[in-house]
Amino acid sequence: MTRTTMSDVTSTDGVTGEAMIPTTSDAGDDLVAGAPSPASVGVAESRVRRAYARIAEVDRPEVWISLLPESSAIAAARAVDARLADGAVLPLAGLTLAVKDNIDVAGLPTTAACPSFATDPAGRPGQAPATAPAVQALVDAGAVVLGKTNLDQFATGLVGVRSPFGAVRHATLPDRVSGGSSSGSAVAVALGIADIGLGTDTAGSGRVPAAFGGLVGIKTTLGLVPTTGVVPACRNYDVVTTFTRDLDLGVVATRTMIGADPTDPARRSWPVDVRLGLRSAPVVAVPRDEDLAPLSPGWRAAFDAAVSSVRATGAQIRTVDISGMLSAARLLYDGAIVAERYEAVGPFLAGAPDADPTVLSIILSGRDTPAHAYVADRARLAVAKVEAEQVLAGCDLLLLPTTTEHPTIAAVQADPLAINRRLGTYTNFVNLLDMAAVAIPAGEADGGPFGITVLSRAFDDQLALDLAARLLPSADDTSAPAGKPADRSDAAPLLVETGVDVLVVGAHLRGQPLNGQLDELGARFLREVRTSDAYRLVALDTQPRKPGLVRAGPGAGAPIAGEVWRLSPGALGTMLADLPAPMSLGQVELADGTWVVGFGCTAESGSAGADITSSGGWVAALRQGL
């Protein structure tokens, strides 16, 4: 597991564009026999060629429902390389994409693992007329689609065996399940074929396969990533998710898809007061012992170790009662909410000759659900959301084992419903209660990968990502133990593309008495900086002690050390409303010539304060006793 970094990608004519390339493999290596020489192959084409070589090498046909001919994928890759040569900036250039086959890709059938679903009334094979906006956003950013992947039919299941195209075996433990319903996409990534796998998640399908595959699975707050062009499972609770081998790439891919369809009826936007950063010592909730009883002994021991890793980051651990959340999870399949699955595909599936028997029984069970029962269960969910918020009051995040165990394919086939139900113990309630989740690998258990999930409230996605970043090794130090002490400069990439950059030079700096205000507002540390030489720094007569920044004009001051933090617009408004005299906010010029919003003080207070410009900054002035 490595963290992905931004690398410069140079096309064959020397034009350079920035692209997201995993540091674990160079795009020009391992070209297939008989392929053009590396000197004549662009970065995207070389990765696509290597992907098809890997497909042949692993020989796992059950992963794919429809695979693009290699020549078609190479043509798409060459188009990406041409765009790079023309100077386009493509964040995902050279990366390969596997798409779950309940998500539309133009020109390919969408079967949802039910072949008859992709035929027209005359029985002829059908093709999706348009690409789903979420997929199109990735393609526009330079990703190349390889094909459509296998799944539990109509995204109903967490096991990956409910498909007429065959059970998708685990990438390295072929007697075990790969996890579903997004089984093919996860295994395509775990096998090193695709860089990004797209799944969908209603009950945990973007998380359980990540846990079994040693992958990162990102499931955003409902409504951020459009579900247009996705065969629905439960319309109100479906999310398009990513599988990647590292966190950073998953964030970039997910961010690329957010807001891709402004006409999506389920669309939601980031609130103006969205939290952009996790504080250095967050409070992380973990379940009581009795709530962890469903875990196998090996998974329980691994989860205890994961909690210790979280504590090692400086987080405070708080034990909470999640029994109410676990009870709410049962509403998805054992309550009237299952009517949403029938609404989505039930009428078709009732007459489908190739329906999976288990899937058919689950979905048809919602056919005769009375409207009053559905309304009653939605009301129960509303109450459960309030109760969950009360349980998590004062906590930033909730840490859970992603699932309970890793069963064999034979065990699931012998007992398909009970094992599947257990696998959803810690996942089924998440979308119902409008929470975001990041599933990450956390060692091994019972001879295979073990995974945990960091859960957050709706729109606190970034906080979950930041804790995940603290728990995963970085590309620069893959041997580091899990649970690094918090370092705000080693956080996940920003998922939220909003906010205002603010310069602080005094009591709000890290380690200073007012830095906690930034913590509480969800501010995000970006970098250390210096101002231009147009500023003086004065010590003000305030409690707590703080400096004031005064503009004196170019060359009339000195560069002053500070930090740039990013705040949401709402957080900045709160900070401004609470700003005490004589402080003010205004534009400040940095040493690199850029301008940001920064703390200053009134001219009157600046004239009365003691000049400490020569110190070069507030922390240095304190050390010097000024």
Q: In what order do the strands lie in the sheet with 524-530?
A: 524-530, 561-567, 500-504, 595-601, 583-589
Rounded to 10 degrees, the C-alpha dihedral 109/207/390/487 comes to: -120
- In eight-state DSSP terms, residue 101 is T
Q: Where are the beta strands (DSSP E) in 108-235?
A: 144-149, 196-201, 216-219
Q: Which of 11, 46, 66, 181 is catalytic?
A: 181
For 436, the enclosing helix (H) or strand (E) is: strand 435-445
Which residue type does 19 have? A
Structure tokens at 218: 């990102």
Structure tokens at 99: 């798409």
Q: Which of 46, 66, 100, 183 is catalytic?
A: 100
Given a contact cutoff of 8 angstroms between Cβ atoms, the answer to whether 196 and 253 are in contact is yes
Q: Are strands 595-601 and 500-504 parallel, antiparallel or unpaired?
A: parallel
Going by C-alpha positions, the residue among 242, 236, 203 that lies closest to residue 222 is 236
Give every CB contact of residue 370 below 8 A, 6+ residues apart in sequence.
336
- Residues 5 and 246: their CA atoms lie apart, in Å, by 10
* Rg, the chain, Cα only: 26
Three-class SS string for 311-360? HHCCCEEEEECCHHHHHHHCHHHHCHHHHHHHHHHHHHHCCCCCCCHHHH
Residue 116 is a catalytic residue:
no
Residue 100 is a catalytic residue:
yes
Phi then psi dihedrals of residue 388, to 5 deg: -65, -40
Q: Any bridge partners for residue 67, and if so which?
A: 147
- Residues 293 and 622: their CA atoms lie apart, in Å, by 53
How big is the chain, counted in residues?
626
Q: Which of 163, 182, 183, 205 is catalytic?
A: 205
For 465, the enclosing helix (H) or strand (E) is: helix 461-471
Structure tokens at 246: 């590292």
Q: Annotate 287-318 with DSSP letters as a single string.
A: E-GGGGTTS-HHHHHHHHHHHHHHHHTTPEEE
Residue 163 is a catalytic residue:
no
- In eight-state DSSP terms, residue 31 is P
Given a contact cutoff of 8 angstroms between Cβ atoms, the answer to whether 601 and 586 are in contact is no
- Residues 317 and 314: their CA atoms lie apart, in Å, by 9
* SS3 at position 170: coil
Active site residues: 100, 181, 205
